[in-house]
A and B are shown apart, each in its own frame.
Chain A
Amino acid sequence: MVNNPNKILAVQLRGVVKAYQVSAGKFTAIHHIDLDIVQGEFVAIVGQSGSGKTTLLNLLAGIDRPTSGEVLVADTSLGKLSESDLAEWRGKHVGLVFQFFQLLPTLTVVENVQLPMDFAKNIPTALRRTRALALLDRVGIKDQANKLPAMLSGGQQQRAAIARALANDPPILLCDEPTGNLDSANRLSVLKLFADLNAEGRTIVMVTHERDASSFTSRQVTLVDGRVAIPAGRS
């Protein structure tokens, strides 16, 4: 990947390898990846099933630890953090969006959005609900705020999950197939929402299968068998 010396890097991967021990032996999901993502970029990570997309995103989120190499996200080297420190770091610096929304079923939508603020304690208690409602308004489901997630459609749940990811105003959003479980109308509106968030300066890294996502993203990183594929015409 090419570094732009004038831009601030949100993500840096240096020689990252991720290998798993499976019953058939050792399986390497990520092979010596070097990757820089500049602050404010909207990067789509694409590739076939099993190419290592989700593993790469998990490495960026501190959900997985590299077998070797270094992962720096939001100026933090993740390899040095304990599990609990990683949790705290995630709460403050990244927002995660999952394919299956992963909202907590016994909390209402607004409470789900408030919860990361409770964990991170960045925002004063008195302001948390107001901020959660504002975020829900921002993603267009304020009227669903007091419902439990099970009462919402898939598109609405994903919007709620995005609002939750924005709760602590993180500079980076990491999204794993956020549109994979949505119909086409919802898919487009969610992608537009991400584009808007990116336009505000937020760095977004999104694992996707969507062919039409490229029109929203600023860059596409293609993985093939755990390696970053070099686009045709480049060396």
Chain B
Amino acid sequence: MTKLLLIKLVRDMRTTWGRMVMMIFAISLSLIAFSTMLQARTLVQSNMTSGYLSTNPASARITINPGVAPEKIESTLNLAKSEPGIIDAAMRSVLSLKIQKDGSESATLQMFVASPDDPMRIATFKTERGNWPPPKDGILLEKSTLEAMKLKVGESLTVLGSNDKPVQLKITGSARDQSLSPASQDTGYGHISTNILPLLGKEPTLNQLAITVADKPGQTEPSHNRDVIVRTALSLADRLKQDPGVSIEQIAVPPPYEHPHQQIANALLTALLAFGALSLLLSAVLIATMFNGLLTQHIPQIGIMKAIGARSNRILQFYLIMILLVSAIATTLAFVPGIVLGRALADLLLKGALNIDVTSLSVPLWVYAVTGIVGIGVPLLLALIPLVRASRKTVREALDERGATDRPGRFTKRLYSWLGKLRGVDITLLMAFRNIFRRQARFLLSVGLLATAGAIFVGGLNLRAGFQAIPKTITDQNSWDVGVRLREPAVAKQVTDIVGNVPGVTGVETWNTISTNIQYPGKVDVTRTYPDQGHGSLNLTAIPEVTSVFNPPKIIEGRWLAAGDTDAIVLPQSIRKSLPDMKVGDSVQLPIDDVLTDWLVVGIAQDLAGGACPCVSQVGFEQASGQQGHVNLIRIVTDRHDKQARIAAGQAATEALGLGQIKAQSAMPIDALVDSAEGHSNVLIILIMFIAASIGIVGLIGLGSTMSTNVIERTREFGVMNAIGAPAGVVRRLVVYEGVFIAVVSCVVAIVPTLLITLVMGTGLGNLFFSAPVPFHVSLWAIIIWIAVVTIGATLATLAPAYRAARLTVREALAYL
């Protein structure tokens, strides 16, 4: 490019600085959203993998019954290590302890137990304070547990040992275990040695054989292949079973090299990255539209340049450099905010949601390269279409460019003809309506841009409304106010009498619930469960035949429980995460009080937050457990339905039960379920809002640009109107009407894509988080906001150029170049 053309380029850009700034802003904003997600995704992946692998997680854990006594541990380990393909082995156990605070149970601690002489090579952790093994009355608490439960090293806590005997333990140190999800106020983690088990009234045995498995014997790198691990673990299990009296309860083989939350984090960030990419695509379309407008304004100049000797490729080169400059500036501006926000988001997710230390904030070079290429390349690619078209215009076409010379198509002709027959309609209104169809390409681009922005914006907010509606599904399904869990089953009638007399209680129902796992009959249960037992464990609920506090969940396959069902079970949809082939008609086994019971799957239920399933009938449960008329769960209805009243009623019921020698394990208001569901989706909602807002802003810029281009293109036409006596007000009104028409048409066009986006994203994210689609919700507010924004935006965006057009003299307008 010659110096002179460079001067022209700079001056042209300066002349249209408003448009240039809007283009730069639009690309920057979208690129920030995209780059934030890309950076965050990469950082989360790398830190998650390195953090998880730093614990050298076990490839598989084989649960043995009975547990292995200390004197037999070495021989068991030797047996395991002699199995071909096994790299290393360790005996461990997981223990659940209730913390007692102020006389009542406040939280659960999941304690990972190992021998004091365990070399801690497998499923290890980092001791941040204190030493391993802790003293005989000491425990090491996981770092996030100390934070969540507001505990400190050196403090003591009381836990309930065997027979609910309170035992005081000292927190002698803190451990960092990155294979665990973050602790909450209700559930925490810790590490203890078998030395402490006698104090807790338990046998010092260990029942989990943790192994690391290689692809081939002799190799030292753990296998990435789950099938290899399962095969090796099953082979070892067979050998262990040869010992008389030993049975295998479960083999847990989590996905190798994957943090428990790896898949969900990847899928979430990929979904958000897709939203970011959509936003970028939208701004690229916007750039194409704006650039098309700029070129339309420049077409007479292109004609002149060609008339005085410029070849098409010269013109192409000139405008390519212009768009390259715009996107390069935008990309440069987006680079640092993208990195900063990406790191902040990764930090938030890693520390807050995944319990992973951020050890490295560096991302591979390809991340920067992709950001750069996408930021510069995508707008360039899309702008190329109008650019090539403009540069190929002949001198004649370019010089004749008057803004609206397209020959009307058949549809447009019919529309014009129909409009021509209308009587009594404001002629300016008719003219405005005709005008929007004159430049069909521009019209389609403008409508497409606004409709895309609207669809993503409203779709995003619909999704948010769907997530927000999830807690409501809990209250729709459950009309009880407080759930009281009993420590031991009690006689139903006694419980009903006691709780029914508690002040504020208006209704009582007695249920049963137990923690269990589901397996196919006759098979060793090979699960994907992680050591924290958080995945794959299930709470079975026995539903009374007559209940007024529970509405059955939505059944997606089969049916709900019917009167007279005694061996029927309804499973949650999420069961397919661990048992993918599970279907109606299958037989399954559940251990109830250590006895395997047989059940027939009659239905699969939708499983959003707080789902009650797997469910069986109360009658069936009583038959299976052999406990007639005994219950361990009380559903209470209170006279007031606020959280405080529910908590008070729960406490009063617990106290009343205590007076009747019935020990309550916990009293939980329904609000706790709702709060938990809301907490899970809050981060997602915030991220969706961030992207929806950025898309909304890009859409608005597009609107402003489209409308001003629309006016600029027709400056000559307004001059002619002025010349034949049209007052400035008519010109202004005409332009504003056109803007509003385009906005309205875009809203209509956006309806179907909005519904599709809501459906597809709701299904995808819902399946990811809840194994069921997010409830389909259309946010009326989102629709109102978007319609208001586009119509008011269209009016405002057209007013400025309309005023400018109306102020032009006839001569200026006709000589417009």
Contact = CB atoms under 8 A, between A and B. Distances in A.
Interface string A88-101: 10111000100010
Please indicate which of the listed interface residues B8, B309, B313, B392 has the most CB atoms of chain A within 10 Å of its own CB. Answer: B309
A90 B301 CA distance: 16
A106 B309 contact: no
B304 interface: yes
Contacts of B407: 23
B307 A106 contact: no
A89 to B, nearest CB: 8
A204 B731 CA distance: 42
Contacts of B2: 118, 125
A179 interface: no
Interface stretch (A25-33, A109-117, A192-200): A109-117
Interface stretch (B36-44, B212-220, B393-401, B414-422): B393-401
Given A91-B308, A115-B308, A106 B817 contact: no
Interface in B765-817: 815, 817
B396 A106 contact: no
Interface residues of A, number: 35
A175 B180 CA distance: 83
A144 interface: no
A172 to B, nearest CB: 14
A63 B309 contact: no
Contacts of A35: none
A74 interface: no
Contacts of A86: 395
A156 B7 CA distance: 23
Interface string A103-132: 111110001001110111000010000000
Contacts of A96: 307-308
Contacts of B311: 84, 87-88, 119
Given A63-B307, A84-B311, A106 B394 contact: no
A45 B7 CA distance: 38
Given A100-B817, A104-B305, A107-B11, A87 B4 contact: no
B10 to A, nearest CB: 9
A39 interface: no
Interface string B394-435: 111001000000010000000000000000000000000000
Nearest to A122: B309
A111 B301 CA distance: 14
Contacts of A168: 309
Interface in B367-404: 392, 394-396, 399
Contact of B310 (A23, A64, A119): A119
Given A87-B311, A90-B309, A114 B4 contact: yes
A102 B310 contact: no
B399 A106 contact: no
Nearest to A167: B308
A63 B815 contact: no
A71 to B, nearest CB: 14
Contacts of B394: 63, 83
A116 B399 CA distance: 17
Contact of B308 (A64, A125, A164, A181): A164
A63 B396 contact: yes
Given A64-B396, A118-B5, A102 B817 contact: yes
Contacts of A181: 815
Contact of B8 (A23, A63, A106): A106
Nearest to B307: A96
B304 to A, nearest CB: 5
A88 B315 CA distance: 13
B128 interface: no
A58 interface: yes
Nearest to B815: A100
B310 A91 contact: yes
A202 to B, nearest CB: 17
A17 interface: no
Contacts of B305: 104, 115, 119
Contacts of B310: 87, 91, 119
A102 B396 CA distance: 14
B809 to A, nearest CB: 13
B308 A107 contact: no
A119 B817 CA distance: 21
Contact of B314 (A61, A107, A114, A119): A119
B4 A107 contact: yes
A118 B4 CA distance: 8
A163 B407 CA distance: 37
B308 A116 contact: yes
B404 to A, nearest CB: 15
B306 interface: yes
A23 B408 CA distance: 10
B308 A83 contact: no
A25 B26 CA distance: 46
Interface string B270-306: 0000000000000000000000000000001101111
B815 to A, nearest CB: 5
Interface string A132-168: 0000000000000000000000000000000011011
A6 B4 CA distance: 43
Contacts of B312: 83-84, 87
A168 B309 CA distance: 10
Contacts of A64: 396
B15 interface: yes
Nearest to A116: B308
A88 B308 contact: no
B309 A116 contact: yes
Nearest to A128: B4
Interface in B1-50: 2, 4-5, 7-8, 11-12, 14-15
Contacts of A120: 309
Contacts of B7: 107, 111
Nearest to A165: B308
Contacts of A63: 307, 394-396, 399
Contacts of A106: 8, 11-12, 14-15
A58 B304 contact: no
Contact of A102 (B5, B11, B304, B309): B304
A130 B741 CA distance: 54
A87 B306 contact: yes
A112 to B, nearest CB: 9
Contacts of B301: 104-105
A168 B7 CA distance: 21
A192 to B, nearest CB: 24
A193 to B, nearest CB: 19
A119 B307 contact: no
Given A63-B396, A105-B817, A111-B7, A88 B15 contact: no
A87 B817 contact: no
Please indicate which of the listed interface residues A86, A103, A114, A118 has the most CB atoms of chain B within 10 Å of its own CB. Answer: A118
A91 B15 CA distance: 27
A62 B14 CA distance: 33
Nearest to B399: A63
Nearest to B315: A87
Contacts of A167: 308
Given A102-B817, A106-B8, A119 B309 contact: yes
Nearest to B9: A106
24 contacts: A23-B407, A63-B307, A64-B396, A83-B312, A87-B307, A87-B309, A87-B310, A87-B311, A87-B312, A87-B395, A90-B306, A90-B309, A102-B300, A102-B399, A102-B817, A104-B301, A106-B14, A107-B8, A116-B308, A118-B5, A119-B309, A125-B2, A164-B308, A167-B308
Interface of A: 23, 58, 61-64, 83-84, 86-88, 90-92, 96, 100, 102-107, 111, 114-116, 118-120, 125, 164-165, 167-168, 181
Given A63-B399, A111-B8, 18 more contacts: A83-B306, A83-B394, A84-B313, A86-B395, A87-B306, A87-B307, A87-B311, A90-B307, A96-B308, A104-B817, A106-B8, A107-B4, A107-B7, A111-B7, A119-B308, A119-B310, A120-B309, A181-B815
A-B pairs with lowest CB-CB distance, top 3 = A91-B309, A119-B309, A106-B11
